[in-house]
Structure 1
């Protein structure tokens, strides 16, 4: 499963504004094409934050928005997975750099228009 940010063109779609660094791009790298994955999921920045918060609440893991995107994508796929499935999500960014953004309720409300 390939996960990308809304506003990124790596997996197709239109280029758009992205506030959170680390996921997405304005160009398509050679290995960034959608046909390299069986499934592609685009995640909004608000949902990246939701994924980060979910991971922090359930597992006490402070992760960054790229990891939050992976967690949110998995949540979207869960209803389709057979019982007993084993899933792996690579958490490749830590959250301490995002205390003033992803983990700040006021910033999230002001910049993403989301109340958590």
Structure 2
């Protein structure tokens, strides 16, 4: 009887652990954006250099080349290395369509080619 209780306790505990991990893995876009923004804030005091930016962009390009859109989740959340020194990698295509933004997820899928900065310059067209 004692062994049965222990086994039941282990099964229940294990099930609860897997259930909680599954819930964490399936964060809503809003929750994921908040986690991404929190990471940007948490890393904002880290030094930002052109070398670091080049390294992260090259790493992102390599990952995207290997996995395509399946790599998008790697750029989001609190544990990503692509949110660093208060900044982050986002992905847009050559037509100005936002493919993945780790914080402003509502921009995903939108054409931003005509978006201007505070001086009136076409932000994405210049890139």
TM-score of the aligned structures, taking structure 2 as reference length: 0.28
Pick the structure with greater CA Rg.
2
Judging by fraction of residues, say which structure has more helix: 2
